[in-house]
Amino acid sequence: MFTFGGILLAMFLGSLDQTIVSTALPRIVADLHGLDRFTWVATAYLVASTALVPIYGKLADMYSRRTIEVTAVSIFLVGSMLCGLAGEFGPLPLLGDGMNQLVLFRAVQGLGGAGLFAMAFIIIADLFAPAERGRYQGFTGAVFGTSSVLGPLLGGFLTDRGTGLIPGVAGWRLVFYVNLPLGALALWFILTQMPPLRPQTAPKKFDFLSAVLLMVGLGPLVVALQLNKAVYGWTSPLTLGLLAVAALALGLFVVRSLRHENPILNFGLFKNTVFRTANGALFLMGGAFLGVIIFEPLFMVNVLGESATRAGISLIPMSLGVVTGSMLAGQMVSRFGHYKRWMLAGLSLLLVGLSLLATMPVDVPYYRVLVFLAICGLGLGPTMPLYTLAVQNATEPALMGQATSASQFFRQIGGAIAASVLGTVLTLTLAQHLPATAAGPAARQTVVAEGPALPSAAATGRPNEQVRQAFSKAVSRVYFCNIFLVVGGLIMTLFIPELPLRKANQRVPVAVE
């Protein structure tokens, strides 16, 4: 349980970091004079963390799980410290100004952050048998939901009121420094309480060429998806060039993996029906999750005229729903088995919530939106632990790291692709319905050219009625697209074979010491 606590604490750090920085970004950009590069603060982390997830899974199958976990946490903490120091000493040789430093150091954080998520599920699979693993994996959903609530609130508090807590240190820097004591505590738990969890067979030579091809492929892919499609459309030379590089590198990665004796991702896993169908569902559900998180605040601000703060607070019921749904589903599966029925129940509930969101009138009360979001959260909760549990239960122990990290990877890449596509849907809908007379031709052009997150009525009160109607139609269309993602996930889930949950692990962690 001490090991489990350390793993959850490390996962909490990575999850918290994804949300705590967002509220500090305006102050960071102002201090470091980097408005033209502010999106890269998030993109650099996302690129690094996505590309490294499969590599961590392979390393976990080859070497001591404890060693890999300690390495991931250490890299993350070094990156956090460097992010807090970005720009503190002015421009630096090779690194450039403070904003360039921050972007680079966020990538370092991402290199460690990838391991915090991937290793959590891998190590939990070592500690607990599948029949009882559900109740413990449910806590991972609770950690994720809790950090989603605490992150923006803590980030805003430290940014606004943290200056002076440490003499001479700006409040936004504490957003990164707060990781250090928590990370040190996690390291202590892991180093003192966690068994080595070494592989049962001698490791073969690591395929470094495949690792390079994977990172060269995934990096441009994620960047291409993150580009503002209103400026760099899907047919722009930059987007097409990045996608071409990604396709070539990933194609070479697949060829290399099929021929190498020790591939980073064993493609034989795709012959496993559970692995194939569960990851297909996770790919779609990653998109559905971000489709709510990203676009719901736009509805709050631009349709209901709520402040950015109240728009952020509105996501708390959804996060609490995710926590409740995740823990409840985990407990029920551990007690009664039959994980598939809880997956289907969660997806059905999510469809109800999305249908309610997609059909909201322009004058829907604020509290009613919170109820709809809570329903979505309850439906999303079981998707956190159960699909991964199904994959682990159907995978042999020698491939557990690869199979588990693949599940995290498909969820992340599905979210990135869906967010980009749904953003395009929203922007095109706004271009069609937002009239030039609502805010003037220049303002309308700004909405279409610079992206959906820019227009905000919070500073001036209730939005213009025509603007409200346009955003209401655009966000509703996004939610309808989300419904199709969930229906696809539901169909994939129907084809997942439900194997009996094993009541004993095939490996005994302590015995490997």
Query: What would the two tokens of residue 89 be?
Result: 């000493």
Q: Are 54 and 265 in contact (CB under 8 A)?
A: yes
The helix or strand, by DSSP H or E, that contains position 64, with its residue range, turns out to be none
Q: Are 453 and 479 in contact (CB under 8 A)?
A: no
Query: What tens digit of pLDDT does each residue of 476-487 get?
Result: 999 999 999 999
Query: What tens digit of pLDDT does each residue of 197-224 get?
Result: 887 777 778 889 999 999 999 889 988 8
Query: What would the two tokens of residue 24 be?
Result: 């500090």
Mean local confidence (pLDDT), 243-253: 95
Other CB atoms within 10 A of residue 480 CB: 15
Instruction: Point out the least confidently predicted range of 136-150, 166-180, 406-420.
Output: 136-150
Q: Residue 76 above 90 pLDDT?
A: yes
Distance of CA 335 to the CA centre of its chain: 29
Tell me the one-letter amino acid at 291.
G
Angstrom distance (rounded) from CA 501 to CA 513: 26
- Cα→Cα distances 140→7, 104, 344, 348, Å: 10, 29, 20, 22
pLDDT for the residue numbered 455 = 41
Read off the pTM. 0.82
Q: Residue 503 above 80 pLDDT?
A: no
> Residue 261, exposed/middle/buried by CB under 10 A (0-12, 13-18, 19+)?
exposed
pLDDT for the residue numbered 504 = 66
Query: What would the two tokens of residue 388 be?
Result: 């991964």
pLDDT for the residue numbered 294 = 81
Q: How confident is the model at residue 144 (pLDDT cuts 50, 70, 90)?
A: confident
DSSP string, 421-440: HHHHHHHHHHHHH--HHHH-
Nearest CA among 444, 381, 409 for reference residue 122: 409
Angstrom distance (rounded) from CA 245 to CA 251: 10
Query: What tens digit of pLDDT does each residue of 300-340 get?
Result: 888 888 876 687 788 889 888 988 988 898 888 888 878 89
